């Protein structure tokens, strides 16, 4: 055939097997807080299409325990959809324009997948129960993950009261202003219902835990700033308005610190310099960083998620990166005080290739991604460097030579003793007998594939990490360093902390390396040195107490593993006191002179 011949393709609709939905749905790796954030965005977009003012937007998350019926999670808004809306938008997969419904507006919805995949993947059955203009429609997924209209409920004529009854919503649960709109026919409602949710064991839903994580989820943070979200549990409102906690800024760094994005960014790869277009007059971008008075590493697990930079498009978050995910940061301890948002709408242009379906991370091998993350990391590390410089000016440096010698002694003693204490308390060393390690069964720190818990270390006295899907050899024992020493991962770069950090610290990158840091900038540490000097038994006792802290951190992780992930208070109390007793009894023999002698010298050991 002549290469210059022109052939015309008669276009046909795409066809695909339902198994492709299983593959796509699995990539979402849903937690309930993530799925609920998708539902939240859908409801907010419905209000945006109606041009409903922020003050009039109300979304209610409803939770029902499974005492007599299956567990349920529901989301209720007061807009409603027609059968035409369902056919044009809800039934379509992967349509980036579905949320706009043909309107020229900015919405939070992405590819029209998140909320539906949450329904399909995370519940035994799920339904859209929606009423508008006198018509009731029910559309959802059955146990076989097939979707469609419920029999007899496509454009079913009924009153709003009858529709609420079918939806299982009592009139007493609806605010007066919404009732007036419903009765006047000026609005409708949509109730999304998921029954028998996955990943919830038992007959009760931990509403407080789910909502604590939900309010800090990257996809929920922006809508929660202006939309009123209520929470009802078993028919009773338990949270009148879901809001993130206010964040107090770090003194001397109130911010915000704004960096205008250049039109192009460059980065090095394979010995070559690459340049990418990252903003222009149509798609301007910027990075805005803020600080927290308390390091995010000291927050609850949910608040730690704020130690990140959210990347946004026109409206919603298209990716989110924790500070340690940006790349190497020389001043990581100070970066624990920083959070921010990067506006980069050019990534959402139609010919772009950097946004992933689940909107958690950008496409990693995209040039735009590499250039953008490098630029963000540079700005974060620059601000962290300024914070570090201020901290350095505030520090009074002492002669820590003796302190380093004392720490070497305690490290040596700890290595000799650690395996014995856990063997005595927990009946021996089994699998996972090392600090750190990645894997489903490896207890302790790191990002465990099937757990939301992060941080901390595993314990033991053998080689190799915890056994799991991915085995990683870790240090034989935790290594304890003093703040101000060089970073073992970056020689020549001292690691410093502030008095706002904990007495014993671990950066994210320290977990798999089995490293702890004793923070010498804590007020009590500095006062002991100032008043009694580093040669005093009081200072040596202070260092020893930090090692006891490390023993306890290690023991708590091992105890949690031993107890199947949940520690009962009486068990924790008994085992913790047992460990403390063993440690102090052992120290009274091995470290008597070290802890008690006024004139102790290293060569005496």
Tell me, what's the pLDDT at 442?
32
Domains observed in the chain: 20-239 (3.30.565), 257-393 (no CATH), 396-604 (no CATH)
Tell me, what's the pLDDT at 434?
33
Cβ atoms 516, 510 nearer than 8 A = yes
Distance set, CA 597 to CA 80, 297, 539, 540, 602 (Å): 77, 37, 12, 10, 12
Backbone φ/ψ region at 26: left (φ over 0), alpha (ψ -120 to 50), beta: alpha
- Counting every residue written for the chain, the total comes to 605
Residue ranges of alpha helices (H) inside 245-344 are: 301-304, 332-335
DSSP string for residues in 41-63:
HHHHHHHHHTT--GGG-EEEEEE
How many Å apart are CA 87 and CA 100, to the nearest integer? 14
Backbone φ/ψ region at 446: left (φ over 0), alpha (ψ -120 to 50), beta: left
How many Å apart are CA 522 and CA 532, to the nearest integer? 16
Q: Nearest CA to 101 among 179, 45, 21?
A: 45
Q: Nearest CA to 160 among 138, 141, 137, 134?
A: 134
Q: First and final CA of the chain: distance in angstroms?
A: 89
Tell me, what's the pLDDT at 472?
47
Tell me, what's the pLDDT at 2?
55
E strand spans, 11-134: 58-64, 72-77, 125-132
How many Å apart are CA 420 and CA 461, to the nearest integer? 9
Helix (H, G, I), strand (E, B) or coil at 223: helix
Q: How many CB atoms lie within 10 A of CB 255?
A: 14
Cβ atoms 170, 145 nearer than 8 A = no
Distance set, CA 351 to CA 113, 316, 347 (Å): 19, 19, 9
Residues of the chain with pLDDT under 70: 1-6, 8-29, 90-112, 298-301, 393-401, 423-476, 601-605
Q: CB-side exposure of 556: number of CA atoms within 13 Å?
A: 11
Tell me, what's the pLDDT at 360?
84
Q: What is the pLDDT of residues 115-140, one digit of tens each?
A: 888 998 899 999 999 999 999 999 99
Distance set, CA 23 to CA 20, 117, 227, 551 (Å): 5, 11, 33, 43
How many Å apart are CA 367 and CA 390, to the nearest integer? 35
Helix (H, G, I), strand (E, B) or coil at 359: coil
Cβ atoms 265, 374 nearer than 8 A = yes
How many Å apart are CA 521 and CA 403, to the nearest integer? 13
How many Å apart are CA 99 and CA 476, to the nearest integer? 53
Q: Nearest CA to 506 among 436, 411, 566?
A: 436
Q: Nearest CA to 30 among 103, 117, 96, 146?
A: 117
Residue for token pair 């590493």: 297
Tell me, what's the pLDDT at 391?
78
DSSP string for residues in 523-545:
HHHHHHHHHH-TTSHHHHHHHHH
Residue 523 contacts by C-beta under 8 Å, 6 or more apart in sequence?
499
Q: What is the pLDDT of residues 87-108, one digit of tens each?
A: 877 666 655 555 445 555 555 5
pTM above 0.85, yes or no: no
Q: Is it true that the peptide bond before 132 is cis, omega within 30 degrees of 0?
A: no
DSSP string for residues in 157-195:
E--HHHHHHHHT--GGGS-HHHHHHHHTTS--EEEEEEE
User: Strand 504-505 and strand 264-269: pairing?
Assistant: unpaired
Joined tokens for residue 125? 């059955």
Phi, psi of 466 (to 5 degrees): -60, 145
How many Å apart are CA 251 and CA 443, to the nearest integer? 37
Phi, psi of 553 (to 5 degrees): -60, -45
Tell me, what's the pLDDT at 292?
93
Joined tokens for residue 153? 């409920």
């Amino acid at each position: 055939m002549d290469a210059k011949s022109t052939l015309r393709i008669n276009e046909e609709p795409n066809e695909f097997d339902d198994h492709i939905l299983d593959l796509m749905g699995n990539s979402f790796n849903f937690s309930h807080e993530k799925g609920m954030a998708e539902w939240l965005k859908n409801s907010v977009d419905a209000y945006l299409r109606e041009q409903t003012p922020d003050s009039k937007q109300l979304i209610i998350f409803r939770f029902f325990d499974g005492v007599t019926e299956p567990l349920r999670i529901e989301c209720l808004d007061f807009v409603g959809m027609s059968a035409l809306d369902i056919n044009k938008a809800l039934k379509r997969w992967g349509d980036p324009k579905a949320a706009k419904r043909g309107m020229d507006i900015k919405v939070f919805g992405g590819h029209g997948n998140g909320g539906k995949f949450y329904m399909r993947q995370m519940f035994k059955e799920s339904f859209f129960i929606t009423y508008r203009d006198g018509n009731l429609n029910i559309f959802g997924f059955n146990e076989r993950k097939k979707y469609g209209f419920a029999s007899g409920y496509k454009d079913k004529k009924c009153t709003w009261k009858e529709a609420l009854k079918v939806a299982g919503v009592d009139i007493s649960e609806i605010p007066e202003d919404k009732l007036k709109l419903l009765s006047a026919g000026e609005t409708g409602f949509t109730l999304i219902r998921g029954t028998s949710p996955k990943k919830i064991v038992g007959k009760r839903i931990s509403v407080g835990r789910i909502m604590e994580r939900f309010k800090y989820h990257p996809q929920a943070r922006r809508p929660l700033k202006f939309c009123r979200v209520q929470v009802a549990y078993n028919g009773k409102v338990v949270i009148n308005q879901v809001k993130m906690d206010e964040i107090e800024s770090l003194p001397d760094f109130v911010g915000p610190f704004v960096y205008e994005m250049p039109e192009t960014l460059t980065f090095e790869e394979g010995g070559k310099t690459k340049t990418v277009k990252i903003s222009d007059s149509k798609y301007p971008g910027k990075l805005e960083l803020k600080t927290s008075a308390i390091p995010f590493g000291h927050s609850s697990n949910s608040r730690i998620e704020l130690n990140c930079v959210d990347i946004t498009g026109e409206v919603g978050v298209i990716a989110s990166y924790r500070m340690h995910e940006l790349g190497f940061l020389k001043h990581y301890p100070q970066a624990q005080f920083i959070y921010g948002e990067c506006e980069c709408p050019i990534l959402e242009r139609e010919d772009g290739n950097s946004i992933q379906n689940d909107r958690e991370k950008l496409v990693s091998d995209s040039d735009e991604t590499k250039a953008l993350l490098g630029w963000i990391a540079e700005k974060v590390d620059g601000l962290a460097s300024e914070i570090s410089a201020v901290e350095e000016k505030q520090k009074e440096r002492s002669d820590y030579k003796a302190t380093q010698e004392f720490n070497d002694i305690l490290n040596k003693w700890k290595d000799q003793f650690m395996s014995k204490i856990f063997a005595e308390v927990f009946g021996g060393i089994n699998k996972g007998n090392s600090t750190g390690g990645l894997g489903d069964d490896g207890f302790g720190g790191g990002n465990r594939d099937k757990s939301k818990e992060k941080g901390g270390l595993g314990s033991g006295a053998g080689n190799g990490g915890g056994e799991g899907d991915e085995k990683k050899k870790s240090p034989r024992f935790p290594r304890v360093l003093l703040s101000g020493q060089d970073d073992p991962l970056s020689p020549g770069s001292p690691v410093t902390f502030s008095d706002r950090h904990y007495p014993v610290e671990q950066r994210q990158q320290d977990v798999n390396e089995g490293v702890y840091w004793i923070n010498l900038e804590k007020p009590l540490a500095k006062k002991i040195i100032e008043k009694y000097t580093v040669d005093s038994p009081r200072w040596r006792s202070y260092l020893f107490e930090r090692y006891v802290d490390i023993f306890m951190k290690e023991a708590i992780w091992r105890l949690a593993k031993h107890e199947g992930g949940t520690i009962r208070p009486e068990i924790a109390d008994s085992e913790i006191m047992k460990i403390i007793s063993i440690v102090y009894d052992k120290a009274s023999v091995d470290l008597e002179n070290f802890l008690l002698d006024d004139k102790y010298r290293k060569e005496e050991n």
